[in-house]
Each structure stands twice: as C-alpha cells, then as structure tokens.
Structure 1
C-alpha cells in the first residue's frame, strides 16, 4: 500500500462527509430562504385577494346605496324618509352579500355614505330644516285644532 491509497482511504470519507455536510447546510439555508419567499408571496396574494374582495363588496354597497337612495328620492316626503334608509340598505346588502357580518355591513354603509354624501350635506340641510319646520308647524296647528275640538265637544256635552 502506498501513501496515496492510505490518504484516499482515510481522508476520502472525511472529505466526502465534509462536502455532504456543507451541501446539507447550504441546501437547508437556501431551502429556508425559498420557503420564506413562498410564504411572503402567499401573504401578498392573500392581501390582494382581500383587497379585491373588499373592492367588490364596496362596489356592491355603492350599487345598493344607489338603489335605496333612488327609492327614497322618488318619494321625497319626510314622512317616508323617517323610515330607516340604513335598515333597508343593510337588508338589501345582506341579501346580495350574505357572508357579511352586521359590523362589516355597517362599516360599508358608513364608507359609502361618507363618499357619496361629501357635498350633499349642505345642499340637503336647508331642505331638511325647512321640511322639519313645516312638520313642526303642522304638528302645532293640529295640536291647537285638537284642543279646539275637545273644547267644542265639552261645550256640546254641557248643553
């Protein structure tokens, strides 16, 4: 046996084990980086899906808002507006997107209302105040007429 054979027989397995160990560590490190990258991409895709889902929900909420707004715009009377537009909105949106919770529906309603009513508030405020004053005046007039009628009924009873 010569020295070359001895070195190969004794150092060879050690060298192979060292190379395998280095490869294992390198593959593990690269594998961890790849797994981390895949997890980040997965999170990114999930976020995009959530954003897309929210955008779709918001678009449906705007559509429902328009339908409810048009329904109440046609009537235009304060007596009819006393009905809860919010309740109608919630009911219709729940019918269109059944998986939404009441809290999510409320958040969508607030988002759409804020977006749509940005400039409307000042325009409608005077109209609502005028209608409210008219209703209060009519209510006072009816109360006075009621008292007058009660007094006449009392007079008739006394006669």
Structure 2
C-alpha cells in the first residue's frame, strides 16, 4: 500500500469521526507498520486514548519487524510497567529481538516470564525460544524447548 493510500485511510477515519476509536487506531497502526512508516505508526500509537493489549502488541511487533529491536524491547518493558500481561505474539516478537541483539539475560528472563504466565509451550513462543537458543548456540536449551512444545510443526 503506497503512502498516498495510507494517508487517505487516516484522513477518511479522521473526517468521519473514527479517529478516537481504539479498534480503528490499532488497525491504522498496523497498516503504517506494515508499510514501513514506523514514525507514523508511533504517532497513531501515541494518540490512542485507551491502549489495550492489541495496541501494545501491534506497536511492539511493528517496531521489531521494522528493525528497531532495542526500541521494541523498551516498548515491551513499558507495556509491562503499565500493567499489561504479554500475549504470545508480543513475547514471541521480543524473543526474536533478543535473538538479533544476542541479549542473553533478557531472553532468559523472557523465558522465565513465559513459564510464569503459562505460555512457554505455545507454538509461537516455543519457536521464538528455539530461534533464540539456537542462534546463541545453547543447543541443550533448544532441545528442551522443542521437547516441551505441545504440537511442534515444520516452522520450528
């Protein structure tokens, strides 16, 4: 989607009063992130009056997918400090950032967090943990994670 279309979509939402709707703003945020307009995505995120887990997850994932790994980690921490519990998509994305940054201690703490909230065995989180441990050459940990995943598939 080109720049003119993304801005047209936002202008349409603004004109017809949808710009304060969290659902609409979350979708604008995702659209800008997927079009690699991370600055615009952040502006939309900052305008969301009542951020929810989808808002946070979309901003974290979009930031990391656009290569801003450190910013993604800080957003994750900000989300947690705000009282939100991560879902498998936010946690998986942040684990991928840890892989890219070789952030061993942060990744270990995320693994512990996944255990604590009961999503370590989720396929998305499990695959991210496999990637994390594999890239850091911690093969025994990767094997342990693989054996723990409830229903591993080809993606892992």
More helix by share: 1
Sort the TM-score into its range (normalised by shorter chain): under 0.3
Which structure would you say has the larger RCO, counting Cα contacts within 8 Å and 6 or more residues apart?
Answer: 1
TM-score (norm 1): 0.23
Larger Rg: 1
